[in-house]
Amino acid sequence: MNPSPAASAKCEFSFTVNGEAKNVLAHPMERLLDVLRNNLGLTGAKEGCGEGECGSCSVLLDDMLVNSCLIPIAQANGTNVVTIEGMSAHSLMKPLQESFLECGGAQCGICTPGMILAATHLLDKKLDPTLADIREGLAGNLCRCTGYMQIFEAVAKAARRRVTQ
Amino acid sequence: MPRKEGWDKVSGAARYVDDMVLPGMLHGATVRSTIGRGKIKQIHFGPGVDWNEYVVVSAKDIPGKNCIALILDDQPCLASEFVNHPEEPILLLAHPDRPKLRKAVEAVSIEYDPLPALHTIEESERQSTIIWGSDNTFKTFLVEKGDVDAVWKEAAHIVEGEYLTGAQEQLYIENNGVIAAFDPKSGVTVWGSLQCPYYVHKALMTLFALPEEKVRVVQMETGGAFGGKEEYPSMIAGHAALLAMKSGRPVKIVYDRMEDMAATTKRHPSRTRHRTAVSKDGRILGGEIEFTIDGGAYATLSSVVLSRGTIHAGGPYYWPNVRIRTKAVATNAPPHGAFRGFGAPQSLFAMERHMDRIAQVAGISPVEVRRRNFLKSGQTTTTEQTIKENIDLDRLLKRALELSDYVAKKKRFADENKAGTHRKGIGIAAFLHGAGFTGSGERYLNSLVGAEADADGTVRVLVSSAEFGQGTNTVLCQIAAEALGLPYENVSIAQPDTTVVPNSGPTVASRTAMIVGKLVQSAARGIKETLTKTGLLHDDYSPEQFRAGCKEYIATHGALKSYARYEAPPDVFWDDEKYRGEAYAAFAWAVYVAEVTVNLATYSVTVDDFVALQEVGRVLHPVLAEGQITGGVAQAIGFALYENVVWQDGRMMNNQMTNYIMPASMDLPPIRVFFVENGNVHGAHGAKGIGELPMDGPAPAIVNAVEDATGVRFCSIPLLPEDLFEALRPEFNEQVVFPLARGTS
| B 482-501 residues with CB < 8 A to A | none
- Contacts of residue A69 in chain B, CB cutoff 8 Å? none
Look over chain B and give the mean of its residue pLDDT values, rounded to a whole number: 95
Q: Determine the Cα–Cα distance for residues B725 and B718; give it in Å rounded to an integer.
A: 14
**ipTM here:** 0.95
The dihedral built from the CA positions of residue B705, B709, B714 and B716, taken in this order, carries a sign that is negative
The answer to whether the CB atoms of A101 and B2 lie below 8 A apart is yes
Q: Judge whether B375 and B431 are in contact, CB under 8 Å.
A: no
- Contacts of residue B627 in chain A, CB cutoff 8 Å? 104, 107, 145-147, 150
pLDDT at residue A139 in the model:
97
What CA–CA distances, in Å, run from B312 to B223, B264, B317, B629, B651?
29, 26, 10, 19, 30
Helix boundaries (H) for B363-445: 366-373, 393-404, 406-416, 441-445
The answer to whether the CB atoms of B10 and A135 lie below 8 A apart is no
pLDDT in tens, A114-133: 999 999 999 999 999 999 99
Q: Determine the Cα–Cα distance for residues B109 and B565; give it in Å rounded to an integer.
A: 51
Q: Give the residue, B57 or B620, on which the prediction is more confident.
A: B57
Nearest alpha carbon to residue B162 among B714, B742, B723: B714
The answer to whether the CB atoms of B469 and A109 lie below 8 A apart is yes
- Whether B664 has a pLDDT exceeding 50, the answer reads yes
Identify the DSSP state of A14: E
pLDDT at residue B679 in the model:
59
Model confidence at B729, in pLDDT bands (50, 70, 90)? confident
pLDDT in tens, B392-426: 999 999 999 999 999 999 999 999 998 889 999 99
In the A/B pair of chains, how many CB contacts fall below 8 A? 179
Q: Judge whether B587 and B394 are in contact, CB under 8 Å.
A: no
pLDDT in tens, B219-230: 999 999 999 999
- Alpha carbon B723 to its chain's center: 27
Q: Determine the Cα–Cα distance for residues B692 and B213; give it in Å rounded to an integer.
A: 34
- Whether B678 has a pLDDT exceeding 80, the answer reads no
Model confidence at B441, in pLDDT bands (50, 70, 90)? confident
Residue B286, judged by CB atoms within 10 A of its CB (0-12, 13-18, 19+), counts as: buried
Q: Determine the Cα–Cα distance for residues B607 and B706; give it in Å rounded to an integer.
A: 10
The dihedral built from the CA positions of residue A94, A95, A98 and A99, taken in this order, carries a sign that is negative
B34-48, B162-176, B432-446, B720-734: the lowest-pLDDT one:
B720-734
3-class SS string, B136-192: CEEEEEEEEECCHHHCHHHCCEEEEEEEEECCECCCCCCCCEEEEEEECCCEEEEEE
Q: Determine the Cα–Cα distance for residues B598 and A21; give it in Å rounded to an integer.
A: 54
3-state secondary structure of B295: coil
Model confidence at B739, in pLDDT bands (50, 70, 90)? very low
Model confidence at B689, in pLDDT bands (50, 70, 90)? confident
- Whether A2 has a pLDDT exceeding 70, the answer reads no
pLDDT at residue B471 in the model:
93
Model confidence at A34, in pLDDT bands (50, 70, 90)? very high
Q: Is B657 on the interface with A (CB under 8 A)?
A: yes
Q: What backbone phi and psi angles, to 5 degrees, belong to B569? A: -55, 140
The answer to whether the CB atoms of B657 and A48 lie below 8 A apart is yes
The answer to whether the CB atoms of B656 and A49 lie below 8 A apart is yes
pLDDT at residue B743 in the model:
41
pLDDT in tens, B302-324: 999 999 999 999 999 999 999 99
| A 37-66 residues with CB < 8 A to B | 37, 43-51, 53-54, 56
Q: Residue B666's CB: how many other CB atoms inside 10 A?
A: 11
Indicate the residue of B105, B174, B626 with minimum beta-carbon distance to A110: B174
Nearest CA in chain B to A27: B99
Nearest CA in chain A to B20: A43
Q: Determine the Cα–Cα distance for residues B55 and B244; give it in Å rounded to an integer.
A: 9
Q: Is B659 on the interface with A (CB under 8 A)?
A: no
| Ramachandran sector of residue B110 (left: φ over 0; alpha: ψ -120 to 50; beta: rest) | beta
3-state secondary structure of B645: coil
Nearest CA in chain A to B27: A1
H/E segment holding residue B7? helix B6-11
Q: Strand locations in B634-730, DSSP E?
A: 647-648, 651-652, 671-676, 713-714, 716-717
What CA–CA distances, in Å, run from B52 to B167, B199, B242, B431?
41, 35, 18, 59
The answer to whether the CB atoms of A107 and B632 lie below 8 A apart is no
- Contacts of residue A152 in chain B, CB cutoff 8 Å? 665
- Bridging pattern class, strands B215-219 and B187-192: parallel
- Whether B511 has a pLDDT exceeding 80, the answer reads yes
Model confidence at B439, in pLDDT bands (50, 70, 90)? confident
Indicate the residue of B2, B19, B29 with minimum beta-carbon distance to A1: B29
Contacts of A125 (CB under 8 A, 6+ apart): none
What whole-number percentage of chain B has pLDDT above 90?
90
Q: What backbone phi and psi angles, to 5 degrees, belong to B181? A: -130, 150
pLDDT in tens, B180-206: 999 999 999 999 999 999 999 999 999
